[in-house]
Amino acid sequence: MKAITVEPKKPGTVRCEDIPEPDVREGSILVEAIAAAVCGTDIEIAEGKYGWAPPGKTRLVLGHESLGRVIDPGPASSLKKGDLVSGLVRRPDPVPCPNCAVGEADMCRNGLYTERGIKEIHGFMSERWRIEPEYAIKVDPSMGILGVLLEPTTVIIKALEQVMAVGQRSFWEPKTLLVTGAGPIGLLAAAVASLAGIEVHVLDRNKTGPKPELVRALGATHHSGSVLDIGFEPDVIVECTGVGSVIAESIQKVGAGGVVCLTGVGAGGIATRAVADVAAAAVLKNNVVVGSVNANKRHWYKANDRLARLDRKWLSRLITRYEKPENFKQALERQPDDIKVVIQFSEI
Q: Between residues 155 and 163, which has the closer beta carbon with respect to ligand BGC? A: 155
Q: Between residues 59 and 158, which has the closer beta carbon with respect to ligand BGC? A: 158
Q: Between residues 122 and 222, which has the closer beta carbon with respect to ligand BGC? A: 122
Element (H, E) at 161: helix 150-167
d(CA 71, CA 188): 30
Find the binder of ligand BGC among 4, 30, 39, 178 (CB under 6 A): 39
Q: How many residues form the binding site for ligand BGC (CB under 6 A)?
A: 11
d(CA 196, CA 323): 34
Q: Between residues 60 and 278, which has the closer beta carbon with respect to ligand BGC? A: 60
* β-strands 259-262, 288-291 pairing: parallel
Find the binder of ligand BGC among 294, 296, 304, 344 (CB under 6 A): 294
C-alpha distances (whole Å) from 188 to each of 151, 225, 254 are 11, 21, 21
Closest to 73 measured CA to CA, from 85, 63, 88:
85
* Position 223 contacts ligand BGC (CB under 6 A): no
Where b means 16+ CB within 10 Å and e means fewer, 26-56 reads: ebbbbbbbbbbbbbbbbbebbbbebbbbeee
* Position 115 contacts ligand BGC (CB under 6 A): yes
Query: At its nearest, how many Å lie between ligand BGC and the CB of residue 65?
Result: 7
Query: At its nearest, how many Å lie between ligand BGC and the CB of residue 327?
Result: 21
Q: Between residues 285 and 297, which has the closer beta carbon with respect to ligand BGC? A: 297
Q: Is the dihedral of CA 295, 7, 241, 265 positive or negative?
A: positive
Q: Between residues 118 and 202, which has the closer beta carbon with respect to ligand BGC? A: 118
* Position 83 contacts ligand BGC (CB under 6 A): no
d(CA 105, CA 298): 11
Element (H, E) at 280: helix 275-284
Find the binder of ligand BGC among 67, 155, 193, 238 (CB under 6 A): 155
Q: Is the dihedral of CA 75, 26, 185, 159 positive or negative?
A: positive
* β-strands 221-223, 236-239 pairing: unpaired
Find the binder of ligand BGC among 45, 97, 118, 131 (CB under 6 A): 118
Query: At its nearest, how many Å lie between ligand BGC and the CB of residue 118?
Result: 5
d(CA 129, CA 136): 11
Query: What is the residue-wise DSSP string for 281-335?
Result: HHHHTT-EEEE-----HHHHHHHHHHHHHS-HHHHHTTEEEEE-GGGHHHHTS--
What x/- string results for residues 43 through 82 when contact with ligand BGC is judged by CB under 6 A? ---------------------x------------------
Find the binder of ligand BGC among 29, 34, 38, 89 (CB under 6 A): 89
Q: Between residues 124 and 328, which has the closer beta carbon with respect to ligand BGC? A: 124
Residues lying near ligand BGC in the complex (CB under 6 A) are found at 39, 41, 64, 89-90, 115, 118, 151, 155, 293-294
